[in-house]
Amino acid sequence: MTTTTLGAHHDDEPGVVERARWALADAQVMTRRYLLQLIRIPTVLFFSLIQPVMFVLLFRYVFGGAIHTAGVNYAEYMLPGAIAQTASFASFGTAIGLSYDLGRGLIDRVRSMPAARFAVLAGRLSSDVVRSLAVVLVLIAVGYGVGFRFDNGAGPAILMILLSVLFGLAICTIAAFVGLALKDPEAVQSFGLVWLFPLTFVSGAFVPVATMPGWLQAIARPNPVTLVVAVMRSLAYGGPITPHLLESLAWIAGILLVFAPLAVRAFKRAS
Amino acid sequence: MDRGDHPAIVARGIVKRFEETVALDGLDLEVPSGSVLGLLGPNGSGKTTLVRVLTTLTPPDEGTAAVEGHDVVHQAAAVRRRIGLAGQFSAVDDHLTGYENLEMAGRLYHLDRQTAARRARELLERFQLSDAASRLAKGYSGGMRRRLDLAASLVAHPSVLFLDEPTTGLDPRSRLDLWGVIRDLVRDGTTLLLTTQYLEEADQLADSIVVIDQGRVIAKGTAPELKSRVGGDVLTGTFASATDLERARRALAPLAAGDAQEDPVTNELRLPVGSMGSRALLEAVRLLDNERVEVLDLAINRPSLDDVFLALTGHAASNAPAVPTKRRRRGRQATAASLGSETR
């Protein structure tokens, strides 16, 4: 028996434009949902906002005095690093949120609806971008309180913010894949610690890479966090931008090209 | 299909494998438009997998299925516009209010903003959640969550509704409430496929019942048909001593519709009594009293899922050792309730 004998209708398939319009609307609905969650779950709000501020203060006042950065005060040196780290750590929320939705049957629910299949994924990542942007702005405000200044004008400052958010999105895409593949929120959380701490600390985010032992420098120098933070510093207070910018963008593009399809595949398979 | 108009749900030879295990093993199913099908089976029998196939969440490895004439694989989008699904885990968002949950569902079913808002209010009213509409779903009771979940599956007026174990884990009171809600729903002509582990639930809600085990249909029919295959009601008595048990067996012989089972350890007797209902109980009391048998406990039980399974397959409903006891106990609770209503 084939499907055609079961009485196929083709009466109401919407066109491509219509479908794209709905897909956008669906992603918007999900974005709103995740942003509402953000406001309403105190622990999420804490980890998204208070923890990064705490890091800035800890590094500025506890470790800052012991770290020597040539030609620039430590507040200025460290803040782009703290921002990049925060953008990376935000991916905890992505991974845990998706694995939680999966476990609760929310993703299945949405997938049984006429909503665009990837509305959940797209909405999650857009909400993460909005969240990153908000947290970055808060960190900059805190930075101004502890001695950070944009010495290079408004244009580069805006570019720095955009670069950090874009980098955060790339990391969140990795996390989306991890969350959907591992499925268990607790496993996802532990796994996040395992890769995010080395990624952000074995880098030039908080200390000059040259102060590390040689073998560690070999890991820290090509680390995308090192590269992105170097570009961010140049944008914030001047210096050569181009070489590291190309490398940073290559990293971001590479991560998105590899992990966006993987996340989509994990989403399709997830049940 | 032979009547020209196609049934609401058709499945032919559905096979679904997960690595080593075969979840669905050539399953056929047909649900006429506007009817309620109870899909009955123990944990792991393939109920949920079948629902996932029919709601386009999982493609089958073999076979075809269509909902309202639309193939679940090749015309999945058309199927999704016509169905509602409420799963075993209530898929409500804890951090949204009841209203927000329904409004979001409406938007995802592509209702416009006003319609989604109106529909959300309508459903909250209908499911007696209006008072809780602006509270976060986190604070809802189990029964309220299920009602909200069910409401979300109805936002877009689906013509076919799938409810996967809608009352599992609910207390008896909430279960009865939800049954009422579901009955009202199908009165409007919605086709319903309902999976359950409880014979009682299928009996209460379904026009016809399909029993599945290890991914295959092992029986279908109405609830009375299935029960008659089990041999009807079972009289269970516990007696003070082995002598009393023996005397009871002889005294009750006139009621027997099948072979009695005796448990010499607990002095328990199980006797099939056919479809006499509560009359069997009254008659039994009279017979035992005549013989002065000392009775510790006497009850009439409707057949449980275990009884149906035993009769149909020769094995108990579950392979896991811990589950049957639990299930049997649940079966008995339901029995006590139904006996009350029969006597009235």
Question: For residue B138, what is the domain's CATH number?
Answer: 3.40.50.300
Whether residues B161 and B149 share a domain: the answer is yes
DSSP single-letter state for residue B136 = B
Are B207 and B146 part of one and the same domain? yes
Distance from CA of A9 to the nearest CA of B (A): 7
Q: Are residues B104 and B248 in the same domain?
A: no
What residues pair up with B271 in beta bridges, in sequence order? B235
Give the residue from A26, A33, A111, A113 with the most B CB atoms within 10 Å of its CB, the best one to mutate: A113
Would the pLDDT of B321 be above 60?
no
CB contact, 8 Å: B80 with chain A? yes
φ and ψ of A223, to 5 deg: -55, 125
pLDDT at B344: 29
Give the mean model confidence (pLDDT) for residues B335-339. Answer: 34
- Residue where one domain finishes, among candidates B207, B227, B247: B227
**Both B139 and B20 in a single domain?**
yes
- Per the domain annotation, does B104 fall within a domain? yes
Q: Is B1 among the domain residues?
A: no
Co-location of B156 and B243 in the same domain: no
Q: How confident is the model at residue B315 (pLDDT cuts 50, 70, 90)?
A: low
Same domain, B208 and B330: no
Give the Cβ contact number of residue B181 at 10 Å: 17
- Given a cut of 80, is residue B307 above it in pLDDT? no
Name residues whose C-beta falls within 8 Å of residue A116's C-beta, 6 or more positions apart in sequence. Answer: A19, A22, A23, A26, A27, A122
Question: Which residue stretches of chain A have pLDDT < 70?
Answer: 1-13, 271
Domain of B308: which CATH number? 3.30.70.100
Number of domains forming the structure of chain A: 1
Q: What is the pLDDT of residue B71?
A: 95
Is residue A6 in some structural domain?
no
For residue A4, the model assigns a pLDDT of: 39
Residue B285 located in a structural domain: yes
The pLDDT tens digits for A50-99 are 888 998 999 999 988 888 887 888 999 999 999 999 999 889 889 998 99
How many CA atoms are closer than 13 Å to the CA of B161, on its beta-carbon side? Answer: 29
Strands B233-239 and B268-274 come out as antiparallel
Q: Is the CB of A111 less than 8 angstroms away from the CB of B56?
A: yes
What is the least distance, in Å, from the CA of A31 to any CA of chain B? Answer: 11
Burial B208-236 (b: 16+ CB within 10 A, else e): bbbbbbbbbbbbbeebeebbebbbbbbbb
pLDDT per residue over B233-274, tens digit each? 888 899 988 898 999 999 988 888 877 888 888 888 888 887
Q: Does A2 touch chain B (CB under 8 A)?
A: yes
Phi, psi for residue B85 in degrees, rounded to 5: -135, 130
Q: What is the pLDDT of residue A50?
A: 87
A115 CB within 8 Å of a chain B CB: yes
Q: Give the distance from residue B168's alpha carbon to the nearest chain A alpha carbon, in angstroms.
A: 15
pLDDT at residue number B5: 62
- Domain span at residue B61 reads 9-227
Domain coverage including residue A132: 16-269
B69 to chain A, any CB pair closer than 8 A? The answer is yes
Give the pLDDT band (50/70/90) at residue B125: very high
Q: Please report the pLDDT score of residue A271 as a whole number.
A: 61
Q: How far apart are CA B232 and CA B201, in angstroms?
A: 17
Tell me what pLDDT residue A48 has.
79
The answer, for B10 touching chain A at a CB cutoff of 8 Å, is: yes
- Closest listed residue to residue B99, CA positions, set B166, B161, B143, B148: B148
Domain count, chain B: 2
Lowest-confidence region among A51-55, B228-232, B320-324? B320-324
Residue B115 has pLDDT above 70, yes or no: yes
Cβ of B55 under 8 Å from any chain A Cβ?
yes
Minimal C-alpha gap between B130 and chain A (Å) = 21
Q: Which of B192, B210, B227 is the last residue of a domain?
A: B227
Same domain, yes or no: B109 and B13: yes
CB contact B75 to A (< 8 Å): yes
**Chain A residues close to B109, C-beta within 8 Å:** 113-115
A115 contacts B104? CB cut-off 8 A: no
Q: What pLDDT is attached to residue B314?
A: 65
Kindly provide the ipTM of the predicted complex, given to two decimals. Answer: 0.82
Q: Which residue of B has its CA nearest to A107?
A: B91
pLDDT in tens, B132-144: 999 999 999 988 9
Cβ distance B211 to B312 under 8 Å?
A: yes
Say if the Cβ atoms of A109 and B85 lie within 8 Å.
yes
Residue B10 has pLDDT above 80, yes or no: yes
pTM of the model: 0.78
Contact state of B104 with A106 under an 8 Å Cβ cutoff = no
Report residue B222's pLDDT band, with 50, 70 and 90 as the boundaries.
Answer: confident
Residue A12 contacts B where some CB pair is shorter than 8 Å: yes
B228: its two tokens:
């008659």
Asked if residue B240 and residue B195 are part of one domain, the reply reads: no
| Model confidence band, residue B304 (pLDDT cutoffs 50, 70, 90) | low
Between CA B268 and CA A124 the distance in angstroms is: 59
Same domain, residue pair B128 and B246: no
A241 domain-assigned: yes
Identify which of B120, B146, B116, B142 has the alpha carbon closest to the alpha carbon of residue B133.
B120
Residue at A105 is within a domain: yes
Which pLDDT value is given to residue B96? 93
- Over residues B305-315, mean pLDDT: 68
Q: Given an 8 Å threshold on Cβ–Cβ distance, is B108 in contact with A40? A: no
Confirm if B209 and B222 have CB atoms less than 8 A apart: yes
Q: Which class for B258: exposed (0-12), middle (13-18), buried (19 or more C-beta within 10 A)?
A: middle
> Which residues of A, range 188-227, sit inside 8 Å of B by Cβ?
none
Percent of chain B with pLDDT over 90: 42
Question: Are residues B96 and A36, on separate chains, in Cβ contact within 8 Å?
Answer: yes
